[in-house]
Amino acid sequence: MKKIRAAVIGATGYAGAELVRLLYNHPNVEITALSSVSFEGKEIAEIYPSFKKKPLPTLTNAEEAVKCADVVFASLPHGLSEPLAEACLANNALLIDLGADFRLESEEDYEEWYKKPFDKPELHGKAVYSLPELFRDAVKDAEIVANPGCYPTAAALGLAPALKNGLIKTDSIIIDAKSGVSGAGRGLTQNTHYPETNETISAYKVGVHRHTPEIEQTLSHVAGKAVKVTFVPHLLPVNRGIEETIYVKLADGVDFDKVRALYEEFYKDEQFVRLERSGAAAEIRNVTRSNFCDISLHFDKRNNLLIICSCIDNMVKGAAGQAIQNMNIKFSLPEETGLETLPSGF
């Protein structure tokens, strides 16, 4: 089989570099272009010495990169993916967008949270939001793939079986999320400066994080009705990984054993979703650097509350790995191709 020619736009950000890392070993992919606004003309190994001694294309610009690709992965600040999508369409390349531009279906929601309208509304009809475990059929016809955000991925996989089966009340979902610092990106900020990030934890953007409407959109689709959530992210002093502890009320008459059985049924054929054995809690180290999502279920019988722990690597299942999973679906490859790496647990 002829290799898929892949370009990475924004290759020197963390999600971009992770795409390079994973695509480099994908058996059906040839990396044909890498682009970077800040480092055009340099070798990526100058910015990521971990890639030394491996043949990778010299960093170029987005315009050039799009021309030599069957699939374009983009990891850009919001607002930049719409013009890129046009270029991809013009070049017959599939765009898999790791940014936020095509995730929200409602322009109203987008404006409320991102403070700008859709620049090219006509493109949004060609885009499909694809969290494969929930929407894999839809992505097959997409010309633009909106790859989910990291927090929404963990939240949606943690809640989907419960919402799909009407097991929980939908008016009081609370998501307490903790993310590794790579989620904040490669750019320098005081709160990611080592001495002020290490040996602490803190909530941020409490109740106002932009992943909130994306989470609600997905959960509403799964539930078949409007779902609202309270979402509070925390910056966790680890490099990678997201843990979300989710608090929901069981619907009347639902017992916990039934919940567990339906989760097992829901995910029994999924390669990348794993339920913890009873009593154990999902934890980040078991998924790090892999495309797995680990989920554990707990029951607070004193308050009739279902507690769900959902863990992913924010850079893999939460970004680059899921993007490759989407590419595999689009190119009719087994979903796990290039994503088989096991996590070591330490």
CB nearer to its own copies: pick between 126 and 186: 186
Which residue, 139 or 287, has its beta carbon nearer to its own copies?
Answer: 287
Residue nearer to its own copies on the CB measure, 102 or 151 = 151
Q: Quote the radius of gyration of the chain (alpha carbons, Å).
A: 20
Query: Distance between CA atoms of 261 and 47, rounded to whole angstroms?
Result: 47
CB 312, min distance to its own copies, A: 13
Is there a contact between 104 and 116 (Cβ–Cβ < 8 Å)? no
Whether the CB-CB separation of 280 and 297 falls below 8 Å is answered with no
C-alpha closest to that of 312 among 336, 278, 340, 286: 286
Q: Please state the closest distance from residue 271 (CB atom) to its own copies, in A.
A: 8
The three state secondary structure string of 87-123 is HHHHCCCEEEECCCCCCCCCHHHHHHHHCCCCCCHHH
Residue 156 CB, nearest approach to its own copies (Å): 18
What is the phi/psi pair of residue 261, to 5°?
Answer: -60, -40
Q: What angle do CA 136, 137, 142 make, to 5 degrees?
A: 90
CA 262 to the chain's CA centroid: 24
Name residue 213's amino acid: P
Q: How far is the CB of 292 from its own copies (least distance, A)?
A: 8
Q: Which of 87/305 has CB closer to its own copies?
A: 305
Q: In this structure, what are the phi and psi dihedrals at residue 96, rounded to the nearest 5 degrees?
A: -110, 110
Count of other CB atoms within 10 angstroms of residue 78:
16
> Is 8 in contact with 324 (CB distance < 8 Å)?
no
Residue in 88, 150, 293, 309 annotated catalytic: 150
- Closest to 241 measured CA to CA, from 321, 146, 331: 321
> Are 86 and 97 spatial neighbours (Cβ–Cβ below 8 Å)?
no
Active site residue 311: no
For its own copies, which is the closer residue by CB, 164 or 298? 298
**Smallest separation (angstroms) from its own copies to the CB of 39:** 12
Shortest distance (Å) from residue 279 CB to its own copies: 9
Q: Cβ closer to its own copies: 126 or 274?
A: 274
Give the active site residues: 150
